[in-house]
């Protein structure tokens, strides 16, 4: 019987040693691959140990902060967004459920103190020791008061749309509004499946036919190329023939003989179509590239959330301008031309800036936990979109758009506003994408902007220009 008892023991011993072998497999062999699995909640909890830095607007409003709580006896930090949907698309979110987006994603290394420089290395030692790692605080260029006005104006109308305001001197993003919005604290899960796509940052991911606002680009190209001067005369019929198709003015209006400058102020399609034909594809394309079309701005934002503007095929892919295109229709901002509000704000910036294109910059300052300044971005000039003279000419003409042309509703008392309206056909009958782009003051501009409202009955001058005025009032009230 003892031999059998011995045999049984051996069988059971092998079983128990098998347990050790399998445990070894999980703890040694499979450990790193398990650690990397997305569904591993430990991954998320580990991130919670970091006291992620706050995101604060230039006027001192906290947009994102970390609130301490406890998790299994340790202090952890839960992300809180005190302003809810105010700048939800720009700021983005850092969530257990949905991962990260917006500045929360692009600035993640600084917010978590895991940059590749010395500070990041010191922090990784802290992490090993189990000490709390504190990330850097980010102060944005964003003006929360003006952002609120922009959001309120869009929400009041109950429309989808976007407002972008840049500081032409340094590219600083003063306002970046997008509606509909979502509350990153509580509404994220719902927003993921919302058919209104509230997570979409319409300022950088929304592609819209720019309509007549694009005439600024066409005009810059024509003036630079010497194809026209502001005084060049045009006939001004209600419609012309372009590539076998009729191309008409807004509401088929006939203008009679007029100057090129007058055509910009009153947004005369027939004249710009003719100018476009004279310019030719290559010239117009070169100017567009100068303004930043056909490429994404290489700014501090997740690449997949900042789309390039340009000419798109039916499947929504950017096409090479060398493909056959209807240049006169491109010249008036139609055909398959699509632009983001950010791109059109950059168009306005270039005019305000004497022709220089400046990189969009969300960040004013990054501060270490001890309060010292880690980074203060300086302006990055991406090149010249037009000559200084052309910019000066356009500035004068765009001022007149507000003073006596289609953009009267953008006028703000005590502020010289320059701009250009746009009313782009969306293909749905009677519905337009309403635009207003511009800058203020006209001289030594401090604000360059683009306002877009999707799918409305009204024109850019009716719908978008008043929003620009309201936001400009908020901005000047803040800074004077």
Partner 1 sequence: MPDRGFLRLPARNRELALIALALLIATTGFAAVQLARAQEFAASPLIAAAFFAGAYLIAHLVVRITLPDADPYVLPITAVLTALGLIEIYRIDATLARDQGLWIVIGLALFVGVIVAFRDIRRLETLRYTCGAVAVGLLLATIVLGSEVNGARLWIRVAGLQIQPGEFAKILLVIFLAGYLRERREVLAAPTRKLLGIGVPALRHSLPLLIIAGASLVLLVAMNDLGSSLLFYVIALAMLYIATGRLLFVGLGAGLFAVGAAAALQITPRVQTRIDGWLHPWADEQAQCCYQITQSIYTIADGGVLGAGFGRGLILNSGGGTIIPYAQTDFIYSVIANEMGLVGATAVILLYLLLAWRGFRIATTADDGFSKLLAAGLATAVAFQVFVIVGGVIRLLPLTGLTLPFVSYGGSSVTANFAIAGLLLCISQRANRARA
Beta carbons within 10 angstroms of residue 341's beta carbon: 31
**Which span (16-24, 131-139, 361-369, 371-379) binds partner 1, by CB under 8 A?**
16-24
Between 5 and 413, CB nearer to partner 1:
5
Residue 45 as a binder of partner 1 (CB under 8 A): the answer is yes
Residue 99 as a binder of partner 1 (CB under 8 A): the answer is no
Among 42, 253, 376, 431, binds partner 1 (CB under 8 A): 42
Nearest distance, CB of residue 22 and partner 1, angstroms: 5
Residue 192 as a binder of partner 1 (CB under 8 A): the answer is no
Residue 312 as a binder of partner 1 (CB under 8 A): the answer is no
Catalytic residues: 212
Residue 15 as a binder of partner 1 (CB under 8 A): the answer is yes
Residue 9 as a binder of partner 1 (CB under 8 A): the answer is yes
Between 8 and 323, CB nearer to partner 1:
8
Among 60, 73, 244, 257, binds partner 1 (CB under 8 A): 73
Residue 6 as a binder of partner 1 (CB under 8 A): the answer is yes
Residue 430 as a binder of partner 1 (CB under 8 A): the answer is no
Nearest distance, CB of residue 96 and partner 1, angstroms: 9
Between 41 and 444, CB nearer to partner 1:
41
Residue 8 as a binder of partner 1 (CB under 8 A): the answer is yes
Residue 118 as a binder of partner 1 (CB under 8 A): the answer is no
Between 72 and 117, CB nearer to partner 1:
72
Q: Where do we find the tokens 């055509």? A: 263
Residue 1 as a binder of partner 1 (CB under 8 A): the answer is yes
Among 68, 69, 196, 280, binds partner 1 (CB under 8 A): 69
Binding-site ranges for partner 1 (CB under 8 A): 1-2, 4-6, 8-9, 12-13, 15-20, 22-24, 26-28, 30-31, 34-35, 37, 39-42, 45, 69-73, 76, 130
């Amino acid at each position: 019987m003892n031999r059998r008892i011995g045999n049984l023991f051996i069988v059971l011993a092998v079983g128990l040693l098998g347990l050790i072998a399998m445990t070894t497999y999980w703890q040694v062999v499979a450990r790193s691959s398990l650690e990397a699995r997305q569904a591993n909640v430990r991954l998320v909890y580990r991130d919670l140990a970091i006291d992620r830095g706050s995101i604060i607007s230039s006027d001192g409003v906290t947009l994102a902060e970390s609130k301490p709580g406890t998790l299994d006896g340790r202090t952890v930090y839960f992300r809180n967004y005190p302003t809810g949907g105010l700048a939800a698309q720009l700021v983005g979110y850092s969530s257990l459920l949905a991962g990260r987006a917006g500045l929360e994603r692009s600035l993640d290394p600084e917010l978590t103190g895991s940059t590749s420089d010395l500070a990041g290395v010191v922090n990784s030692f802290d992490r090993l020791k189990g000490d709390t790692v504190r990330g850097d605080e980010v102060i944005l260029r964003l003006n929360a008061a003006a952002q609120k006005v922009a959001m309120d104006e869009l929400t009041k109308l109950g429309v989808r749309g976007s407002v972008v305001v840049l500081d032409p001197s340094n590219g600083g993003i003063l306002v970046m509004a997008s509606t509909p919005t979502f509350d990153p604290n509580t509404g994220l899960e719902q927003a993921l499946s919302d058919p209104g796509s509230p997570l979409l940052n319409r300022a950088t991911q929304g592609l819209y036919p720019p309509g007549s606002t694009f005439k600024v680009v066409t005009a810059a190209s024509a003036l630079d190329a010497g194809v026209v001067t502001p005084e060049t005369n045009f006939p001004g019929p209600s419609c012309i023939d372009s590539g076998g198709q009729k191309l008409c003015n807004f509401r088929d209006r006939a203008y009679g003989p007029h100057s090129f400058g007058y055509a910009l102020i009153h947004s005369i399609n027939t004249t710009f179509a003719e100018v476009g034909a004279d310019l030719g594809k290559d010239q117009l394309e070169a100017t567009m590239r100068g303004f930043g079309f056909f490429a994404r701005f290489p700014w501090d934002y997740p690449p997949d959330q900042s789309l390039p503007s340009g000419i798109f095929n039916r499947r929504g892919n950017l096409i090479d301008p060398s493909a056959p295109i209807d240049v006169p229709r491109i010249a008036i901002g139609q055909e398959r031309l699509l632009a983001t509000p950010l791109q059109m704000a950059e168009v306005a910036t270039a005019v305000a800036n004497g022709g220089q294109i400046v990189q969009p910059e969300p960040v004013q300052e990054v501060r270490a936990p001890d309060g010292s300044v880690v980074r203060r971005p300086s302006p990055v000039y991406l090149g010249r979109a037009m000559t200084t003279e052309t910019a000066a000419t356009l500035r004068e003409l765009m001022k007149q758009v507000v003073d006596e042309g289609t953009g009267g509703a953008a006028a703000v008392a005590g502020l010289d506003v320059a701009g250009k309206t746009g009313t782009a056909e969306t293909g749905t009958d009677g519905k337009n994408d309403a635009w207003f782009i511009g800058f203020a003051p006209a001289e030594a501009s401090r604000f360059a902007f683009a306002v877009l409202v999707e799918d409305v009955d009204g024109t850019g001058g009716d719908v978008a220009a008043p929003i620009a005025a309201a936001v400009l009032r908020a901005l000047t009230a803040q800074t004077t």
